[in-house]
Copies of this chain bind each other. A is one copy, B any other.
Protein backbone atom coordinates (compact mmCIF):
# COMPACT_ATOMS: atom_id res chain seq x y z
CA UNK A 1 0.00 0.00 0.00
CA UNK A 2 2.67 2.45 1.11
CA UNK A 3 4.77 1.56 -1.90
CA UNK A 4 2.05 2.67 -4.29
CA UNK A 5 0.94 5.72 -2.37
CA UNK A 6 4.33 7.34 -1.88
CA UNK A 7 5.16 7.72 -5.57
CA UNK A 8 1.67 9.13 -6.13
CA UNK A 9 2.11 11.68 -3.36
CA UNK A 10 5.45 12.63 -4.85
CA UNK A 11 3.89 12.90 -8.25
CA UNK A 12 1.15 15.17 -6.90
CA UNK A 13 3.61 17.25 -4.92
CA UNK A 14 5.88 17.70 -7.88
CA UNK A 15 2.93 18.40 -10.12
CA UNK A 16 1.74 21.07 -7.71
CA UNK A 17 5.13 22.65 -7.51
CA UNK A 18 5.43 22.45 -11.29
CA UNK A 19 1.97 23.98 -11.63
CA UNK A 20 2.85 26.67 -9.09
CA UNK A 21 5.96 27.57 -11.04
CA UNK A 22 3.94 27.76 -14.22
CA UNK A 23 1.46 30.13 -12.59
CA UNK A 24 4.34 32.24 -11.27
CA UNK A 25 5.91 32.35 -14.73
CA UNK A 26 2.57 33.32 -16.25
CA UNK A 27 2.07 36.09 -13.71
CA UNK A 28 5.53 37.46 -14.52
CA UNK A 29 4.83 37.32 -18.25
CA UNK A 30 1.47 39.08 -17.90
CA UNK A 31 3.10 41.80 -15.83
CA UNK A 32 5.71 42.29 -18.56
CA UNK A 33 2.98 42.48 -21.18
CA UNK A 34 0.94 45.08 -19.27
CA UNK A 35 4.00 47.11 -18.29
CA UNK A 36 5.25 47.23 -21.86
CA UNK A 37 1.87 48.20 -23.25
CA UNK A 38 1.39 50.98 -20.67
CA UNK A 39 4.94 52.31 -20.54
CA UNK A 40 6.16 51.70 -24.05
CA UNK A 41 3.07 50.93 -26.12
CA UNK A 42 2.62 51.65 -29.79
CA UNK A 43 -1.15 51.29 -30.08
CA UNK A 44 -2.03 54.91 -29.36
CA UNK A 45 0.49 56.39 -31.80
CA UNK A 46 -0.70 53.95 -34.48
CA UNK A 47 -4.31 54.95 -33.83
CA UNK A 48 -3.36 58.62 -34.06
CA UNK A 49 -1.98 58.03 -37.54
CA UNK A 50 -4.82 55.82 -38.75
CA UNK A 51 -7.48 58.23 -37.41
CA UNK A 52 -5.93 61.60 -38.04
CA UNK A 53 -3.70 61.05 -41.07
CA UNK A 54 -6.00 58.63 -42.92
CA UNK A 55 -9.43 59.01 -41.31
CA UNK A 56 -12.75 57.34 -42.20
CA UNK A 57 -12.10 54.41 -44.54
CA UNK A 58 -15.21 52.88 -45.98
CA UNK A 59 -14.62 49.79 -48.13
CA UNK A 60 -13.66 50.62 -51.66
CA UNK A 61 -12.59 54.19 -50.84
CA UNK A 62 -9.18 55.74 -51.40
CA UNK A 63 -8.81 55.96 -47.63
CA UNK A 64 -9.43 52.22 -47.27
CA UNK A 65 -6.61 51.62 -49.76
CA UNK A 66 -4.36 54.02 -47.83
CA UNK A 67 -5.18 52.10 -44.66
CA UNK A 68 -4.21 48.81 -46.35
CA UNK A 69 -0.88 50.29 -47.41
CA UNK A 70 -0.30 51.73 -43.95
CA UNK A 71 -1.11 48.41 -42.27
CA UNK A 72 1.29 46.51 -44.51
CA UNK A 73 4.00 49.12 -44.02
CA UNK A 74 3.69 49.09 -40.22
CA UNK A 75 3.57 45.30 -39.95
CA UNK A 76 6.69 45.06 -42.10
CA UNK A 77 8.52 47.19 -39.54
CA UNK A 78 7.81 44.60 -36.83
CA UNK A 79 10.26 41.98 -38.08
CA UNK A 80 7.55 39.33 -38.42
CA UNK A 81 8.16 36.11 -40.34
CA UNK A 82 5.65 36.98 -43.07
CA UNK A 83 3.52 39.94 -44.03
CA UNK A 84 1.16 39.80 -47.01
CA UNK A 85 -1.99 41.16 -48.58
CA UNK A 86 -4.89 38.81 -49.20
CA UNK A 87 -6.96 40.05 -52.13
CA UNK A 88 -10.71 40.41 -51.65
CA UNK A 89 -13.33 42.14 -53.78
CA UNK A 90 -15.43 44.57 -51.74
CA UNK A 91 -18.61 46.57 -52.31
CA UNK A 92 -18.27 50.30 -52.90
CA UNK A 93 -20.96 52.69 -51.74
CA UNK A 94 -20.53 56.45 -51.57
CA UNK A 95 -22.52 59.02 -49.64
CA UNK A 96 -22.14 61.76 -52.23
CA UNK A 97 -23.13 65.32 -51.40
CA UNK A 98 -24.10 65.68 -47.72
CA UNK A 99 -27.70 64.60 -47.30
CA UNK A 100 -30.32 66.77 -45.64
CA UNK A 101 -33.86 66.60 -44.37
CA UNK A 102 -36.53 68.84 -42.95
CA UNK A 103 -39.97 68.67 -41.41
CA UNK A 104 -42.57 70.77 -43.21
CA UNK A 105 -45.42 71.81 -40.92
CA UNK A 106 -47.06 73.84 -43.68
CA UNK A 107 -45.79 74.96 -47.08
CA UNK A 108 -42.73 77.13 -46.53
CA UNK A 109 -42.51 76.46 -42.76
CA UNK A 110 -39.68 73.99 -42.30
CA UNK A 111 -37.42 72.67 -39.53
CA UNK A 112 -34.10 71.04 -40.39
CA UNK A 113 -33.22 67.75 -38.69
CA UNK A 114 -29.85 65.94 -38.82
CA UNK A 115 -29.94 62.77 -40.93
CA UNK A 116 -27.48 60.57 -42.77
CA UNK A 117 -28.04 57.92 -45.41
CA UNK A 118 -27.82 54.32 -44.23
CA UNK A 119 -25.00 52.40 -45.86
CA UNK A 120 -26.23 50.75 -49.03
CA UNK A 121 -29.28 52.96 -49.43
CA UNK A 122 -30.44 54.06 -52.86
CA UNK A 123 -30.55 57.83 -53.37
CA UNK A 124 -33.68 59.93 -53.51
CA UNK A 125 -34.65 61.21 -56.93
CA UNK A 126 -32.91 64.50 -57.78
CA UNK A 127 -34.60 67.20 -55.72
CA UNK A 128 -35.43 64.71 -52.97
CA UNK A 129 -38.72 63.26 -51.83
CA UNK A 130 -41.43 64.84 -49.71
CA UNK A 131 -44.21 62.80 -48.20
CA UNK A 132 -46.44 62.42 -45.15
CA UNK A 133 -44.73 60.53 -42.37
CA UNK A 134 -45.96 57.73 -40.14
CA UNK A 135 -44.25 56.72 -36.90
CA UNK A 136 -43.94 53.08 -35.83
CA UNK A 137 -42.12 51.42 -32.97
CA UNK A 138 -40.85 48.54 -35.07
CA UNK A 139 -41.46 45.98 -37.80
CA UNK A 140 -44.45 44.44 -36.02
CA UNK A 141 -46.33 47.72 -35.85
CA UNK A 142 -45.46 48.36 -39.50
CA UNK A 143 -47.15 45.10 -40.50
CA UNK A 144 -50.22 45.96 -38.45
CA UNK A 145 -50.64 49.28 -40.22
CA UNK A 146 -50.36 47.58 -43.61
CA UNK A 147 -50.59 49.02 -47.10
CA UNK A 148 -53.60 51.25 -46.43
CA UNK A 149 -51.75 53.31 -43.86
CA UNK A 150 -48.22 53.03 -45.27
CA UNK A 151 -48.56 53.51 -49.01
CA UNK A 152 -47.08 56.73 -50.31
CA UNK A 153 -45.62 57.66 -46.93
CA UNK A 154 -42.23 57.82 -45.28
CA UNK A 155 -42.01 55.35 -42.40
CA UNK A 156 -40.32 56.61 -39.23
CA UNK A 157 -38.96 53.76 -37.10
CA UNK A 158 -38.63 55.18 -33.60
CA UNK A 159 -38.16 52.36 -31.09
CA UNK A 160 -35.35 53.60 -28.80
CA UNK A 161 -32.55 51.43 -27.39
CA UNK A 162 -33.51 50.07 -23.97
CA UNK A 163 -31.62 52.08 -21.35
CA UNK A 164 -32.23 49.58 -18.55
CA UNK A 165 -30.09 46.88 -20.19
CA UNK A 166 -26.67 46.97 -18.57
CA UNK A 167 -24.87 45.59 -21.64
CA UNK A 168 -25.49 48.19 -24.33
CA UNK A 169 -24.87 45.64 -27.10
CA UNK A 170 -28.04 43.89 -25.97
CA UNK A 171 -29.95 47.15 -26.32
CA UNK A 172 -28.45 47.53 -29.81
CA UNK A 173 -29.43 43.99 -30.70
CA UNK A 174 -33.00 44.77 -29.67
CA UNK A 175 -33.31 47.72 -32.07
CA UNK A 176 -31.08 47.22 -35.05
CA UNK A 177 -33.67 45.26 -37.04
CA UNK A 178 -35.33 48.63 -37.72
CA UNK A 179 -32.17 49.89 -39.38
CA UNK A 180 -31.20 46.68 -41.16
CA UNK A 181 -34.59 45.54 -42.50
CA UNK A 182 -36.83 48.60 -42.08
CA UNK A 183 -36.59 49.77 -45.69
CA UNK A 184 -37.07 46.29 -47.18
CA UNK A 185 -40.18 45.70 -45.06
CA UNK A 186 -41.67 49.18 -45.47
CA UNK A 187 -41.24 49.02 -49.26
CA UNK A 188 -43.47 45.95 -49.35
CA UNK A 189 -46.34 48.13 -48.09
CA UNK A 190 -45.69 50.90 -50.58
CA UNK A 191 -43.62 53.27 -48.42
CA UNK A 192 -41.56 55.81 -50.36
CA UNK A 193 -38.77 56.21 -47.80
CA UNK A 194 -37.58 55.23 -44.34
CA UNK A 195 -36.19 57.24 -41.42
CA UNK A 196 -34.72 55.29 -38.50
CA UNK A 197 -33.96 56.60 -35.01
CA UNK A 198 -30.19 56.45 -34.53
CA UNK A 199 -28.84 53.50 -32.54
CA UNK A 200 -27.66 55.75 -29.71
CA UNK A 201 -28.59 55.70 -26.02
CA UNK A 202 -27.79 59.39 -25.62
CA UNK A 203 -29.87 62.36 -26.70
CA UNK A 204 -27.74 64.36 -29.13
CA UNK A 205 -27.55 65.69 -32.67
CA UNK A 206 -25.44 63.01 -34.36
CA UNK A 207 -27.14 60.72 -36.86
CA UNK A 208 -25.60 57.20 -36.79
CA UNK A 209 -25.27 55.32 -40.06
CA UNK A 210 -24.86 51.55 -40.44
CA UNK A 211 -25.55 48.66 -42.74
CA UNK A 212 -28.98 47.91 -44.19
CA UNK A 213 -30.29 45.34 -46.61
CA UNK A 214 -33.04 45.41 -49.20
CA UNK A 215 -33.31 41.62 -48.98
CA UNK A 216 -34.55 40.31 -52.32
CA UNK A 217 -36.28 43.52 -53.43
CA UNK A 218 -35.89 44.40 -57.10
CA UNK A 219 -33.95 47.56 -57.83
CA UNK A 220 -37.10 49.38 -58.85
CA UNK A 221 -38.74 48.66 -55.51
CA UNK A 222 -35.89 49.96 -53.35
CA UNK A 223 -36.62 53.08 -51.29
CA UNK A 224 -34.15 55.50 -49.67
CA UNK A 225 -33.33 54.98 -46.00
CA UNK A 226 -31.67 57.35 -43.55
CA UNK A 227 -30.92 57.61 -39.84
CA UNK A 228 -32.06 60.62 -37.82
CA UNK A 229 -30.30 61.82 -34.64
CA UNK A 230 -31.98 60.95 -31.33
CA UNK A 231 -32.83 64.61 -30.65
CA UNK A 232 -34.20 64.85 -34.19
CA UNK A 233 -36.29 61.71 -33.63
CA UNK A 234 -37.76 63.10 -30.41
CA UNK A 235 -38.56 66.38 -32.14
CA UNK A 236 -40.16 64.65 -35.09
CA UNK A 237 -42.22 62.45 -32.81
CA UNK A 238 -43.49 65.44 -30.79
CA UNK A 239 -44.36 67.35 -33.94
CA UNK A 240 -46.25 64.34 -35.29
CA UNK A 241 -48.25 64.17 -32.07
CA UNK A 242 -49.20 67.83 -32.48
CA UNK A 243 -49.96 67.50 -36.17
CA UNK A 244 -50.13 64.10 -37.91
CA UNK A 245 -50.29 65.84 -41.31
CA UNK A 246 -46.76 67.25 -41.34
CA UNK A 247 -44.56 66.23 -44.24
CA UNK A 248 -40.97 65.10 -44.32
CA UNK A 249 -38.41 65.95 -46.95
CA UNK A 250 -35.26 63.91 -47.59
CA UNK A 251 -32.53 64.55 -50.09
CA UNK A 252 -29.71 62.02 -50.58
CA UNK A 253 -27.45 61.24 -53.52
CA UNK A 254 -25.60 58.18 -52.31
CA UNK A 255 -24.69 55.48 -54.82
CA UNK A 256 -23.57 51.87 -55.10
CA UNK A 257 -20.76 51.19 -57.58
CA UNK A 258 -19.13 48.08 -58.99
CA UNK A 259 -17.10 45.97 -56.56
CA UNK A 260 -13.54 47.09 -56.01
CA UNK A 261 -10.28 45.25 -55.39
CA UNK A 262 -9.17 45.44 -51.78
CA UNK A 263 -7.21 43.39 -49.25
CA UNK A 264 -6.99 41.85 -45.84
CA UNK A 265 -3.60 42.69 -44.36
CA UNK A 266 -1.92 39.77 -42.60
CA UNK A 267 1.24 39.38 -40.56
CA UNK A 268 2.60 36.18 -39.03
CA UNK A 269 5.05 35.00 -36.41
CA UNK A 270 5.62 31.37 -37.32
CA UNK A 271 5.28 28.94 -34.40
CA UNK A 272 8.42 27.26 -33.05
CA UNK A 273 6.76 23.95 -32.07
CA UNK A 274 3.45 23.73 -33.87
CA UNK A 275 3.83 25.96 -36.93
CA UNK A 276 0.76 24.38 -38.51
CA UNK A 277 -1.53 25.42 -35.67
CA UNK A 278 -2.78 28.95 -36.32
CA UNK A 279 -3.97 31.45 -33.78
CA UNK A 280 -5.24 34.75 -35.11
CA UNK A 281 -6.02 38.13 -33.61
CA UNK A 282 -7.73 40.91 -35.51
CA UNK A 283 -10.17 43.71 -36.00
CA UNK A 284 -11.52 45.41 -39.08
CA UNK A 285 -9.59 47.96 -41.05
CA UNK A 286 -12.57 49.50 -42.81
CA UNK A 287 -14.86 51.95 -41.00
CA UNK A 288 -17.89 54.04 -41.75
CA UNK A 289 -17.22 57.33 -43.47
CA UNK A 290 -18.70 59.87 -41.02
CA UNK A 291 -16.07 59.94 -38.26
CA UNK A 292 -12.56 58.57 -38.41
CA UNK A 293 -13.49 55.16 -37.04
CA UNK A 294 -11.28 55.39 -33.95
CA UNK A 295 -13.42 53.18 -31.73
CA UNK A 296 -14.98 51.20 -34.61
CA UNK A 297 -12.60 49.67 -35.28
CA UNK A 298 -9.33 51.57 -35.36
CA UNK A 299 -8.90 50.54 -31.72
CA UNK A 300 -9.26 46.84 -32.56
CA UNK A 301 -6.77 47.18 -35.43
CA UNK A 302 -4.01 48.79 -33.41
CA UNK A 303 -4.60 46.52 -30.41
CA UNK A 304 -4.29 43.46 -32.66
CA UNK A 305 -1.08 44.76 -34.21
CA UNK A 306 0.18 45.47 -30.70
CA UNK A 307 -0.29 41.82 -29.68
CA UNK A 308 2.43 40.70 -32.08
CA UNK A 309 4.62 43.70 -31.30
CA UNK A 310 4.38 43.00 -27.55
CA UNK A 311 5.38 39.35 -28.07
CA UNK A 312 8.47 40.62 -29.89
CA UNK A 313 9.17 43.31 -27.28
CA UNK A 314 9.06 40.94 -24.31
CA UNK A 315 10.99 38.30 -26.23
CA UNK A 316 8.26 35.67 -26.30
CA UNK A 317 8.55 33.18 -29.16
CA UNK A 318 5.14 31.56 -29.65
CA UNK A 319 4.91 27.79 -30.10
CA UNK A 320 2.04 28.17 -32.54
CA UNK A 321 1.81 30.41 -35.59
CA UNK A 322 0.31 33.72 -34.56
CA UNK A 323 -1.29 35.91 -37.19
CA UNK A 324 -2.66 39.39 -36.98
CA UNK A 325 -5.41 39.92 -39.54
CA UNK A 326 -6.62 43.41 -40.45
CA UNK A 327 -9.94 42.44 -42.00
CA UNK A 328 -11.45 44.51 -44.79
CA UNK A 329 -15.17 45.25 -45.15
CA UNK A 330 -16.73 44.20 -41.85
CA UNK A 331 -19.14 47.13 -41.93
CA UNK A 332 -20.98 46.49 -45.16
CA UNK A 333 -20.31 43.04 -46.47
CA UNK A 334 -17.97 40.99 -44.25
CA UNK A 335 -16.13 40.04 -47.40
CA UNK A 336 -12.73 40.08 -45.66
CA UNK A 337 -13.81 37.73 -42.90
CA UNK A 338 -15.42 35.34 -45.36
CA UNK A 339 -12.42 35.41 -47.69
CA UNK A 340 -9.94 34.72 -44.90
CA UNK A 341 -11.96 31.72 -43.71
CA UNK A 342 -12.36 30.38 -47.24
CA UNK A 343 -8.64 30.57 -48.00
CA UNK A 344 -7.84 28.95 -44.64
CA UNK A 345 -10.21 26.11 -45.44
CA UNK A 346 -8.98 25.68 -49.01
CA UNK A 347 -5.39 25.48 -47.79
CA UNK A 348 -6.33 23.13 -44.95
CA UNK A 349 -4.81 25.49 -42.38
CA UNK A 350 -5.64 24.31 -38.89
CA UNK A 351 -6.95 27.35 -37.01
CA UNK A 352 -7.29 26.62 -33.30
CA UNK A 353 -7.96 30.06 -31.84
CA UNK A 354 -9.23 33.44 -33.05
CA UNK A 355 -9.64 36.63 -31.06
CA UNK A 356 -11.34 39.81 -32.26
CA UNK A 357 -11.48 43.30 -30.80
CA UNK A 358 -14.45 45.17 -32.26
CA UNK A 359 -16.29 46.75 -29.35
CA UNK A 360 -14.37 50.00 -28.88
CA UNK A 361 -11.16 51.05 -27.19
CA UNK A 362 -12.65 51.33 -23.70
CA UNK A 363 -11.41 49.84 -20.42
CA UNK A 364 -11.31 46.08 -20.97
CA UNK A 365 -13.61 44.07 -18.69
CA UNK A 366 -13.06 40.55 -20.04
CA UNK A 367 -13.82 38.26 -22.96
CA UNK A 368 -16.75 36.43 -24.44
CA UNK A 369 -15.96 32.91 -25.70
CA UNK A 370 -17.60 30.86 -28.38
CA UNK A 371 -16.16 27.46 -27.47
CA UNK A 372 -16.90 24.12 -25.86
CA UNK A 373 -17.10 23.60 -22.10
CA UNK A 374 -13.63 22.07 -21.77
CA UNK A 375 -11.98 25.13 -23.24
CA UNK A 376 -14.17 27.46 -21.22
CA UNK A 377 -13.15 25.60 -18.05
CA UNK A 378 -9.52 26.12 -19.02
CA UNK A 379 -10.15 29.83 -19.55
CA UNK A 380 -11.79 30.14 -16.15
CA UNK A 381 -8.74 28.63 -14.51
CA UNK A 382 -6.80 31.67 -15.79
CA UNK A 383 -9.09 34.19 -14.10
CA UNK A 384 -6.79 34.76 -11.10
CA UNK A 385 -4.01 35.78 -13.49
CA UNK A 386 -6.20 38.58 -14.85
CA UNK A 387 -7.49 39.88 -11.52
CA UNK A 388 -4.59 42.29 -10.87
CA UNK A 389 -5.59 43.99 -14.12
CA UNK A 390 -9.27 44.25 -13.10
CA UNK A 391 -10.34 41.83 -15.81
CA UNK A 392 -13.24 39.88 -14.29
CA UNK A 393 -15.75 39.01 -16.96
CA UNK A 394 -15.34 35.66 -18.74
CA UNK A 395 -18.56 34.55 -20.38
CA UNK A 396 -19.74 32.15 -23.05
CA UNK A 397 -21.43 33.83 -26.01
CA UNK A 398 -20.54 35.53 -29.27
CA UNK A 399 -17.04 36.53 -30.40
CA UNK A 400 -16.62 38.83 -33.40
CA UNK A 401 -18.10 39.24 -36.87
CA UNK A 402 -14.87 38.87 -38.86
CA UNK A 403 -13.75 35.67 -37.18
CA UNK A 404 -17.26 34.15 -37.21
CA UNK A 405 -16.75 32.45 -40.61
CA UNK A 406 -13.85 30.43 -39.09
CA UNK A 407 -16.26 28.65 -36.77
CA UNK A 408 -15.92 24.86 -36.79
CA UNK A 409 -15.46 22.00 -34.36
CA UNK A 410 -12.43 22.43 -32.13
CA UNK A 411 -11.71 26.13 -32.63
CA UNK A 412 -11.99 28.65 -29.81
CA UNK A 413 -13.40 32.02 -30.88
CA UNK A 414 -13.18 34.98 -28.50
CA UNK A 415 -14.13 38.64 -28.42
CA UNK A 416 -12.60 41.31 -26.20
CA UNK A 417 -15.31 42.85 -24.05
CA UNK A 418 -14.51 46.43 -23.05
CA UNK A 419 -16.80 48.57 -20.94
CA UNK A 420 -19.78 49.17 -23.22
CA UNK A 421 -21.48 52.19 -21.63
CA UNK A 422 -20.12 54.85 -24.01
CA UNK A 423 -19.77 52.76 -27.17
CA UNK A 424 -23.06 53.75 -28.80
CA UNK A 425 -22.39 57.44 -28.13
CA UNK A 426 -19.88 57.18 -30.99
CA UNK A 427 -20.73 54.08 -33.03
CA UNK A 428 -21.03 54.86 -36.79
CA UNK A 429 -21.29 58.60 -36.15
CA UNK A 430 -19.28 61.70 -36.92
CA UNK A 431 -17.97 61.88 -33.34
CA UNK A 432 -16.20 58.50 -33.48
CA UNK A 433 -12.87 60.27 -33.49
CA UNK A 434 -9.42 59.90 -31.95
CA UNK A 435 -10.09 62.29 -29.05
CA UNK A 436 -12.83 59.94 -27.81
CA UNK A 437 -10.24 57.21 -27.16
CA UNK A 438 -8.32 57.20 -23.90
CA UNK A 439 -4.70 56.07 -24.24
CA UNK A 440 -4.61 53.95 -21.08
CA UNK A 441 -7.91 52.24 -21.80
CA UNK A 442 -6.69 51.35 -25.31
CA UNK A 443 -3.37 50.06 -23.99
CA UNK A 444 -4.99 47.99 -21.26
CA UNK A 445 -7.12 46.35 -23.95
CA UNK A 446 -4.05 45.51 -26.04
CA UNK A 447 -2.28 44.01 -23.02
CA UNK A 448 -5.36 41.98 -22.07
CA UNK A 449 -5.61 40.52 -25.57
CA UNK A 450 -1.88 39.74 -25.64
CA UNK A 451 -2.16 37.96 -22.29
CA UNK A 452 -4.96 35.71 -23.51
CA UNK A 453 -3.08 34.91 -26.73
CA UNK A 454 -0.01 34.04 -24.65
CA UNK A 455 -1.96 31.66 -22.42
CA UNK A 456 -3.67 29.92 -25.33
CA UNK A 457 -0.37 29.61 -27.15
CA UNK A 458 1.38 28.20 -24.10
CA UNK A 459 -1.30 25.75 -22.98
CA UNK A 460 -3.01 25.05 -26.31
CA UNK A 461 -6.61 24.21 -27.02
CA UNK A 462 -8.28 21.35 -25.14
Contacts and interface: CB of A to CB of B under 8 A. Distances in A.
Interface of A: 34-35, 38-39, 163-164, 166-168, 201-202, 363, 365, 388-390, 392-393, 419, 421-422, 425, 438-441, 444
A109 to B, nearest CB: 31
Given A363-B421, A392-B392, A421-B363, A164 B440 contact: no
Contact of A164 (B34, B363, B392, B422): B34
A133 B288 CA distance: 50
A253 to B, nearest CB: 34
A441 B419 CA distance: 10
Interface centre among A35, A39, A389, A390 (most CB of B within 10 A): A390
A202 B422 contact: no
Given A390-B393, A425-B438, A419 B363 contact: yes
A390 B363 contact: no
Residue from A34, A35, A392, A421 whose CB has the most chain B CB atoms within 10 Å: A421
A166 B425 contact: no
A39 to B, nearest CB: 5
A438 B202 CA distance: 9
Stoichiometry, copies per complex? 2
Given A363-B419, A363-B421, A393-B390, A164 B439 contact: no
A29 B445 CA distance: 34
A166 B390 contact: yes
Nearest to A203: B439
Contact of A441 (B35, B421, B441): B421
A201 B419 CA distance: 20
Contacts of A392: 392-393
A269 to B, nearest CB: 25
B39 A164 contact: yes
A421 B440 contact: yes
Nearest to A393: B390
A425 B363 CA distance: 15
Contacts of A35: 164
Contacts of A363: 363, 419, 421
7 contacts: A163-B440, A166-B388, A166-B389, A166-B444, A202-B439, A363-B419, A419-B419
A361 to B, nearest CB: 11
B166 A34 contact: yes
Contacts of A421: 363, 438, 440-441, 444
Contacts of A365: 390
Contacts of A167: 390
A368 to B, nearest CB: 13
A262 to B, nearest CB: 35
Contacts of A163: 38-39, 440
A419 B39 CA distance: 20
A388 B202 CA distance: 22
Contacts of A441: 421-422
A429 to B, nearest CB: 15
A166 B451 CA distance: 15
A388 B393 CA distance: 11
A156 B5 CA distance: 67
Query: Sorted from nearest, which 7 A-B pairs have the closest CB atoms?
Result: A392-B392, A35-B164, A421-B440, A38-B163, A38-B164, A421-B441, A363-B419
Given A201-B440, A392-B393, 14 more contacts: A35-B164, A39-B163, A39-B164, A163-B440, A166-B388, A166-B389, A166-B444, A202-B439, A363-B419, A363-B421, A421-B438, A421-B440, A422-B440, A422-B441
Most chain B CB within a 10 A radius of its CB, from A34, A166, A388: A166
Nearest to A37: B164
Nearest to A442: B421
Nearest to A163: B38
Given A163-B38, A166-B34, A389-B166, A438 B419 contact: no
A31 to B, nearest CB: 9
A142 B425 CA distance: 47
A422 B441 CA distance: 8
A201 B444 CA distance: 14
A441 B425 CA distance: 12
